[in-house]
Amino acid sequence: MLNLSPSNKIQLPREDFWSLKSVIKEKSTKKVIRVFYVFFMIAVILMFIPWTQNVRSNGKLITLRPEQRPQTINTIIAGRIEKWYVKDGDVVKKGDTLLFISEVKDGYFDPKLVERTKDQLRVKEQSVRTYGDKVVSLDNRIDALIESGKLKLQQAQIKLKQTRLKLISDSIDYQVARNNYDIAKDQFNRFEKLTNEGLKSQTELEVRKVSMQRAQGSMISSQQKLLQSRNDIIDAKVELSSIEAKYRDEVSKAESDKFSAMTSMYETEVDVTKLQTQSANYSIRNGMYIITAPQDGVVTKVIQSGIGETVKQGEEILTIMPKVYDLAVEMYILPMDLPLIHQGQKVRLQFDGWPAIVFSGWPNTSHGTYGGEVFAIDNFAQEDGTFRVLISPDTSDYTWPKALRVGGGTNSMILLKDVPIWYELWRIINGFPPDFYKKSDVKANKEKK
């Protein structure tokens, strides 16, 4: 039976039991307190170490210039693939032939379409020259008619003037003949009275009567000439008006023919212009059957394939990556971080496929990262509400790897203000944004340093 009474105390030496000796140590509490104090002092010291605030975001590699980005070659016209001159991975220079296509529209099947169109153009141009000559001839005819009309009018006016002068002359003759008749009549009356009184003979009376009758005949003849002169004046006026109307009608008809010829000439010139445009279009279209490289580059992907395959107008054929390009990085930041970003701000970049050791708060101690600068900031938001930031290489830092390719991924850190670690922890716990500062503040700090 075991002696388990409380009064019975058995003292066992600890040195004989190594397991008990390793578990129970004397003064372990004091060592723990010392270790705690040491770690606390280290933590306090670490709290005052500078920490670089930053805005992190994923991005991808692009090119700064639009003409240096991957380019898709399209067909300007519809056609059928006849022959390929390149394949994926081929290096091409500007102007190298990529593809040859043939015509598929029935309106362009004629192999001599351009020559026949040029023949039509030459005929139309000859028609324009013919109409021009006709217009010149009609101008000459109009000038001749106007000149002839002027001469005819002058002739008619002279004739009218002559008729008027003849009228005056006939009027004077008539007046003289009338006076003579009146005198002869008075003499006959006096002789008749004297004969009745027996003072004159019958023979003398008959002589006076004959003289009176002659004067009367002369007066009637002069009156007839006067009336004829008046009628001639009317005829001259009618002839003058007729000449004016005749030549006016002839000139108007010639001008009408001239305007008709000019209208036909202008219409033919319109046809000439259309044919010129059509001929130029046909010539340019013939040059579109051969598709060439727009710039130096590498064929990255052939979209269409096969011989005899039909491609539509504007359809994609292949993609070319320019041989020379300037790399940049595009990243997207939240609206709350936008006021913290400005042009020229330093950025640290980690490229996919390049190993790196990154300390976001201590960028100078990171390895495998490369420098960049904020090149541009979009003034409008994307569909998801973020803003795009373009980053160009930092010329004062390490050169970016030459093996980088457009479209590769990146992890970007835009560097902000240097603050103590305790302040950064306090800011994160309270949910405050990073400190906002301007570029002028950075320059002032550098000048102070």
Place of tokens 């002279």: 158
Task: Give the whole-angstrom CA distance, residue 269 versus residue 275.
Answer: 10
108-130 mean pLDDT: 87
Q: Write out pLDDT tens, residues 196-229.
A: 777 777 777 777 788 888 888 888 888 888 888 8
348: domain CATH number?
2.40.30.170
Q: Are residues 55 and 130 in the same domain?
A: no
Answer yes or no: are the C-beta atoms of 79 and 101 closer than 8 Å: yes
* 7 in a structural domain: no
Among 207-221, 274-288, 390-404, 431-445, which is the least confidently predicted range? 431-445
With contact defined as beta carbons under 8 Å apart, do 46 and 421 qualify? yes
Say which CATH number the domain at 243 has: 1.10.287.620
In this structure, how many other beta carbons lie within 10 angstroms of the beta carbon of residue 111?
9
Q: Exposed e or buried b for every residue in 35-60, given b needs 16+ CB within 10 A?
A: eeeeeeeeeeeeeeeebbbbbebebe
Q: Which residue has the higher pLDDT, 309 or 431?
A: 309
State the pLDDT at residue 106. 81
Whether 300 and 424 share a structural domain = no
Distance CA(312)–CA(124), nearest Å, equals 35
Pair (235, 95) in one structural domain = no
Please say whether the dihedral angle defined by the alpha carbons of residues 94, 96, 99 and 101, taken in this order, is positive or negative.
positive
Residue 10 lies in a domain: no
356 — phi, psi (to 5°)?
-155, 150
Q: Is residue 23, in this structure, part of any structural domain at all?
A: no
Residue range of the domain that includes 187: 113-287
pTM: 0.54
Assess whether pLDDT exceeds 80 at residue 257: yes
pLDDT value of position 436: 52
Q: Which of 249-258, 290-299, 363-372, 409-418 has the lowest mean pLDDT?
A: 363-372
The reply to whether 177 and 313 lie within a common domain is: no
Listing DSSP states for 101-160 in one string gives: EE---GGG--TTHHHHHHHHHHHHHHHHHHHHHHHHHHHHHHHHHHHHHHHHHHHHHHHH
Looking at the fold, whether 259 and 299 belong to one and the same domain comes out as: no
Residue 298 and residue 259 share a domain = no
d(CA 295, CA 242): 79
Is there a single domain that holds both residue 240 and residue 150?
A: yes
Return the pLDDT at 187.
80
Residues 334, 443 within the same domain = yes
Question: What would the pLDDT profile of 329-353 be if each residue is shown by its tens digit?
Answer: 998 888 877 777 788 888 888 888 7
- Percent of the residues in the chain that have a pLDDT greater than 70, as a whole number: 82
pLDDT in tens, 259-288: 988 999 999 899 999 988 988 888 888 888
Number of residues that this document lists for the chain? 449
pLDDT at residue 10 greater than cutoff 80: no
- CA-based end-to-end distance of the chain: 86
Mean pLDDT to the nearest integer, 99-115: 85
Which residues share a beta bridge with 413?
56, 348
**Same-domain check for residues 259 and 170:** yes
For residue 14, being part of any structural domain is answered with no
Q: Which two tokens stand for residue 209?
A: 């009567």
Please check whether residue 399 is in contact with residue 326, taking contact to mean a CB–CB distance below 8 angstroms. no
Considering the domain boundaries, does residue 41 fall inside one?
no
- Pairing state of beta strands 97-102 and 297-302? unpaired
pLDDT for 27-83, tens place per residue?
556 677 777 887 878 877 777 667 666 677 888 888 888 888 888 888 888 889 999
Whether pLDDT at 135 is above 60: yes
105: left (phi over 0), alpha (psi -120 to 50) or beta: beta
Q: Which of 322, 338, 371 is the last residue of a domain?
A: 322
Note whether residue 303 is domain-resident.
yes
Label the pairing between strands 71-74 and 316-322.
antiparallel
151 & 221 share domain: yes
DSSP state of 340: G
Does the residue 108 lie in any domain?
Answer: no
Q: What is the predicted pLDDT for the residue at 92?
A: 92
Residue-wise DSSP of 393-447: E-TTSPPPPTT--TT-EEEEEEEEEEEEHHHHHHHHHHTPPPPP--HHHHHHHHH
Is 70 exceeded by the pLDDT of residue 18? no
Does the residue 373 lie in any domain?
yes
Q: How many CB atoms lie within 10 A of CB 437?
A: 15
Q: What is the pLDDT of residue 435?
A: 62
Lowest mean pLDDT among 91-95, 213-217, 318-322, 438-442: 438-442
Give the CATH number, domain containing residue 86. 2.40.50.100
In terms of domains, do 379 and 409 share one?
A: yes
- pLDDT recorded at residue 418: 63
Query: Three-state DSSP class for 49?
Result: coil
pLDDT of residue 1: 43
The token pair that represents 408 in the structure block: 């590769």
How many domains does one find in the chain? Answer: 3
Express the helix, strand and coil content of the chain in percent, nearest 5 each.
Answer: 50, 20, 25
pLDDT for residue 442 is more than 70: no
Q: Which is nearest to 319 in space by CA: 114, 98, 154? A: 98
**Exposure string (b/e) for 245-271, b if CB count within 10 Å is 16 or more?**
eebeebbeebeebbeebeebbeebbeb
The CA-atom distances, in angstroms, between 222 and each of 37, 178, 227 are 164, 9, 9
Are residues 86 and 126 both part of a single domain?
Answer: no
